[in-house]
Amino acid sequence: MSAPLPIKLYMHSGAVGGPNPYKVLIVLHHLDIPFTKVATDDSKAEWYVKDINPNGRIPAIEDPNTGLTLWESGAIIEYLVDEYDKGGKISVKNGKGAWEAKQYLHFQMSGQGPYFGQAVWFYRFGDNMPDGKKRYLEQVERVMMVLNNILEGKEYLVDDRLTYADLAFVPWNMVVQKWPLLSDPLWKPYQIEEKYPNFVKWQNKLCALDAVKRSYEP
Amino acid sequence: MSAPLPIKLYMHSGAVGGPNPYKVLIVLHHLDIPFTKVATDDSKAEWYVKDINPNGRIPAIEDPNTGLTLWESGAIIEYLVDEYDKGGKISVKNGKGAWEAKQYLHFQMSGQGPYFGQAVWFYRFGDNMPDGKKRYLEQVERVMMVLNNILEGKEYLVDDRLTYADLAFVPWNMVVQKWPLLSDPLWKPYQIEEKYPNFVKWQNKLCALDAVKRSYEP
């Protein structure tokens, strides 16, 4: 079989940008799928909204091997492992584990991402809205608590081995780790490292993966 | 083949409750899958968090036919159509359309649901946070605009026929339609009916489906 043509990944070009494209980038690196980045610093640009993603957000991909254009990082991850992870390196092909991986991916997409994203927004713009700021810090902590409980006695979310479900959580966790959120006086009392050691250990182990490091290289 | 045993659907028992369980209920009705509701009015109850959903949210299902317990409405919908819609009544089994349906499901889970949910929260509790309230009303409108654009010249999201992707959007759209949001002075200028006719026509057509009506019967 000849090598696949590189997948086009639409994402921001600079060092600063939202975490969602990194979810896709990590999976591309981990599966050694050839790709090229297409600089998309204005995701509301007319060409992009018209031809690539009507939602005006990054990431999106175009796969010249199949002719597919796809947006929403969760769907892109599912597509990449279905098409390019036939050996099941980070995917689960059948049964209970396959559905659990999808469940956690949806939790990442609907629970972790949106709440962490709102926390960042309120951290930046919410000084006049302390109740809003507090709400999202509490939700961030709640998601960390849930993940910590799920990881009790386990190294990974599904079948005790690394899957795409784990990888999908990395970029938003990383934002919260790096963001001054953690030094916010509102946040300190939560004592994440002390209270949620399973969560912290899991995230640190994922961040040590080559694919994650390569995804964040300048 | 003998009839499947009823699926247990964990959701609130009263008339008032969040929209996410209705996404699953509509799919169960539309595919005529036998089910029983398990009243779950306290989704943080110890038994529920321990045995059913560590995230402490509804819906969740248990399928006695396969032994699977699953949470996250998006994953549950994918499971139900995979297992109980072999004929493809509302699912797309292969190719471009299959990935588009997943893409829209993820957009519902990560885009529509969370933003609409925050808008409702700020509508209820955000009188002292006009900037927050405005942010989420604007996001609700933005999602409606995106859907309206996608639906230009189309009756449904994927392959011009009804799929689970359409159905997944119904309950949160319905919340916004029914909620006093629409009579909020902040909201009126958006003129949803005038500006987004594709969106409104689509939602009204979906609401007229038997499966949707039956899902909301007291």
- Tell me the pLDDT tens digit for each residue of A112-141: 999 999 998 998 888 899 899 889 988 999
Query: B45, A185, B68: which is closest to B58 by C-alpha?
Result: B45
What is the model's pLDDT at position B181? 58
Return the C-alpha torsion angle B171, B174, B179, B182, nearest 10: 140
Task: Give tens-digit pLDDT for B5-24.
Answer: 999 999 999 766 789 999 99
What is the model's pLDDT at position B14? 76
**Category of A42 on φ-ψ map: left (φ > 0), alpha (ψ -120 to 50) or beta:** beta
Task: Give tens-digit pLDDT for A157-166.
Answer: 999 999 999 9
Check whether domain B7-84 has CATH 3.40.30.10, yes or no: yes
| CA gap A208, A110 in Å, rounded | 26
What is the model's pLDDT at position A211? 98
Tokens, residue B122: 């700020």
CATH architecture of B95-215: Up-down Bundle (1.20)
Judging contacts by C-beta atoms under 8 Å, the chain A residues touching residue B110 are 72, 74, 109-110, 113-114
Task: Give tens-digit pLDDT for B104-153.
Answer: 999 999 999 999 999 989 988 888 998 998 899 889 999 999 999 999 99
* Residue found under tokens 């591309």: A28
Q: How far is A108 from chain B (nearest CA, A)?
A: 9
SS3 B161: strand
Sheet holding A35-39, edge to edge: A35-39, A7-11, A60-63, A68-71
**ipTM (interface pTM):** 0.96
User: In chain A, which segments carry CATH 3.40.30.10?
Assistant: 7-84
pLDDT at B178 over 60: yes
| A152-172 average pLDDT score | 97
pLDDT-based confidence at residue B50 (cuts at 50, 70, 90): very high
The H or E element that residue A218 is part of is none
pLDDT-based confidence at residue B194 (cuts at 50, 70, 90): confident
Interface membership of A98 toward B (CB under 8 Å): no
What is the model's pLDDT at position A186? 62
pLDDT, mean over chain B: 92
pLDDT-based confidence at residue A178 (cuts at 50, 70, 90): confident
| A89-106 average pLDDT score | 96
What is the model's pLDDT at position B177? 77
pLDDT at A33 over 80: yes
| B64-85 average pLDDT score | 98
Interface membership of A154 toward B (CB under 8 Å): no
pLDDT at A148 over 90: yes
Phi, psi of B160 (to 5 degrees): 50, 35
- SS3 for A23-65 is HHHHHHHHCCCCEEEEECCCCCCHHHHHHCCCCCCCCEEEECC
- Burial of A191 (C-beta count, 10 Å sphere; 0-12/13-18/19+): exposed
pLDDT at B1 over 60: no
pLDDT-based confidence at residue A185 (cuts at 50, 70, 90): low
pLDDT-based confidence at residue B46 (cuts at 50, 70, 90): very high
Considering chain A, what percentage of its residues have pLDDT values greater than 70? 93
Interface membership of B93 toward A (CB under 8 Å): no
SS3 B172: helix
B70 to A129: CB separation less than 8 angstroms, yes or no = no
Query: A214, A204, A139, A133: which is closest to A174 by C-alpha?
Result: A204
pLDDT at B90 over 60: yes
* Residue found under tokens 């993820």: B106
B54 to A107: CB separation less than 8 angstroms, yes or no = no
The secondary structure of A53-117 as a DSSP string is: -TT--S-EEEETTTTEEEESHHHHHHHHHHHH-TT-SS---SHHHHHHHHHHHHHIIIIIHHHHH
Distances (CA, A) of B37 to A182, B41, B97, B127: 41, 12, 32, 36
pLDDT at A181 over 70: no
The H or E element that residue B35 is part of is strand B35-39
Q: Chain A interface, mutation test: which of B103, B139, B145, B149, most A Cβ atoms within 10 Å?
A: B103
Chain-centroid distance of CA A122 in Å reads 20
Residue of B nearest to A145 (CA): B55
What is the model's pLDDT at position B38? 97
pLDDT at A145 over 70: yes
| A104-108 average pLDDT score | 98
Query: B10, B6, B30: which is closest to B70 by C-alpha?
Result: B10
Determine the angle formed by the axes of helices A197-207 and A130-150, rounding to 10 degrees.
Answer: 80
Asked if residues A211 and A29 have their Cβ atoms less than 8 Å apart, the reply is: yes
A74 to B110: CB separation less than 8 angstroms, yes or no = yes
Phi, psi of B31 (to 5 degrees): -95, 5
What is the model's pLDDT at position B186? 62
Residue of A nearest to B49 (CA): A146
User: In chain B, which segments carry CATH 1.20.1050.10?
Assistant: 95-215
Asked if residues A166 and B71 have their Cβ atoms less than 8 Å apart, the reply is: no
What is the model's pLDDT at position A188? 60
Q: Chain B interface, mutation test: which of A72, A77, A105, A116, most B Cβ atoms within 10 Å?
A: A72
| CA gap A57, A43 in Å, rounded | 5
What is the model's pLDDT at position A184? 64
Q: How far is B49 from chain A (nearest CA, A)?
A: 10
